[in-house]
């Protein structure tokens, strides 16, 4: 995977700061440039929406000036040193604006902060993050907490290892290879969908047979639910992030219930990177 352009939606919150620190680490490792995007939802009368979402009234221009002042302070943070940074302010709804800007700039990776389910107010809480996760055609890395020394050395990849996910698995492999990371392939065995370990391992080996994997491990983990199993395994294995597939309309297919991807994004303390099927 060739990561050269990283998009960070910014609302100047603590969550956006956490995401930016992680994105800066990735940018330095991959020699990428960062695009900071701030979305503003204000009454249409303040903005001339006929000029490509550019502000044109005095009130909007003043608002833009204040936002760019904030950007100047934000870009001066020490963890950005040595990284090429671009900034953009758009008058648009957060979810659709992020995906539109991503397409416009040919972004390779979106890094987002998330408040999760705490009920805090802000641009990137709850449904906006989940909508981007569901609908983005490029990987979305969601960061929940401050990570001072972020690295991508070990990745949990959770799947049912069915044929439905094969066409997207190469992107996961490419992502891991970009960071020379070990890929820990994980199948969760639950009481409702019990399967003999040998059968699970056989399917996993058949699944990866035609892929050129670097360092990797095969893991069967037993737990009461798939989500809990992924979180517990990742903690036990001390992996740096969790990689999962998403489906545009309803989370993950087959192996997962409808909203498992959103639940993981909201509840995982480790970063979660999603790849759309």
* Two tokens, residue 228: 């809990």
- How many angstroms separate the CA atoms of 227 and 30, rounded? 31
Select from 195, 24, 45, 15 the least CA-distant residue to 109.
24
Q: Indicate the residue among 100, 121, 143 that finishes a domain.
A: 143
**Domain-embedded: residue 149:** no
Q: Which domain holds residue 184?
A: 154-276
Q: Indicate the residue among 92, 115, 143 that finishes a domain.
A: 143
**Domain-embedded: residue 272:** yes
Number of domains in the chain: 2
Estimate the crossing angle of helix 126-135 against helix 94-105, to 10 degrees. Answer: 30
**Domain-embedded: residue 25:** yes
- How many angstroms separate the CA atoms of 123 and 202, rounded? 44
Phi, psi of 141 (to 5 degrees): -105, 120
Whether residues 213 and 182 fall in one domain? yes
Whether residues 158 and 61 fall in one domain? no
**Domain-embedded: residue 243:** yes
**Domain-embedded: residue 18:** yes
Select from 152, 169, 148, 151 the least CA-distant residue to 160.
169
Q: pLDDT tens digits for the chain (277 residues)? A: 789 999 999 988 898 999 999 999 999 999 999 999 988 765 555 445 444 455 556 766 777 788 888 999 999 999 999 999 999 888 767 777 888 889 999 999 999 988 654 333 333 444 577 788 888 889 999 998 889 889 999 999 999 898 888 888 999 999 999 999 999 999 999 888 888 999 999 999 999 998 999 999 999 999 988 888 999 999 999 999 999 888 655 433 344 544 565 666 666 778 999 898 7
Please state the pTM of the whole predicted model.
0.86
**Domain-embedded: residue 148:** no
Q: What is the DSSP letter of 122?
A: S
Whether residues 120 and 173 fall in one domain? no
Whether residues 79 and 17 fall in one domain? yes
Whether residues 161 and 110 fall in one domain? no
Helix (H) or strand (E) holding 242: strand 241-246
Distances from the Cα of 140 to the Cα of 6, 165, 188, 237, angstroms = 10, 17, 23, 22
**Domain-embedded: residue 209:** yes
**Domain-embedded: residue 256:** yes
């Amino acid at each position: 995977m060739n990561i050269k352009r990283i998009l960070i939606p910014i609302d100047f919150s603590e969550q956006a700061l956490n995401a930016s620190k992680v994105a800066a680490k990735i940018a330095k490792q991959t020699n990428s440039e960062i695009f900071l995007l701030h979305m503003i939802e204000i009454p249409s009368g303040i903005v001339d929406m006929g000029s490509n979402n550019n502000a044109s009234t005095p009130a909007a221009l003043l608002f833009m000036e204040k936002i760019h002042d904030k950007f100047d302070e934000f870009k001066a943070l020490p963890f950005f040193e040595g990284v090429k940074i671009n900034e953009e302010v758009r008058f648009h709804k957060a979810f659709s604006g992020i995906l539109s800007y991503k397409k416009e700039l040919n972004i390779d990776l979106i890094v987002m902060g998330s408040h999760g389910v705490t009920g805090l107010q802000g641009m990137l809480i709850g449904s906006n993050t989940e909508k981007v996760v569901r609908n983005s055609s490029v990987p979305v890395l969601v960061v929940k907490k401050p990570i001072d020394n972020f690295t991508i050395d070990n990745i949990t990849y959770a799947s049912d290892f069915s044929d439905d996910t094969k066409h997207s698995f190469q992107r996961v492999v490419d992502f891991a290879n970009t960071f020379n990371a070990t890929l820990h392939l994980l199948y969760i065995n639950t009481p409702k969908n019990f399967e003999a370990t040998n059968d699970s391992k056989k399917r996993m080996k058949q699944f990866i047979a035609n892929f050129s994997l670097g360092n990797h491990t095969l893991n069967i983990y037993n737990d009461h639910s798939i989500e809990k199993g992924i979180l517990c395994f990742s903690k036990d294995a001390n992996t740096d992030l969790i990689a999962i597939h998403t489906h545009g309309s309803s989370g993950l297919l087959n192996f997962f219930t409808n909203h498992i991807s959103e639940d993981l994004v909201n509840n995982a303390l480790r970063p979660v990177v999603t790849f759309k099927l």
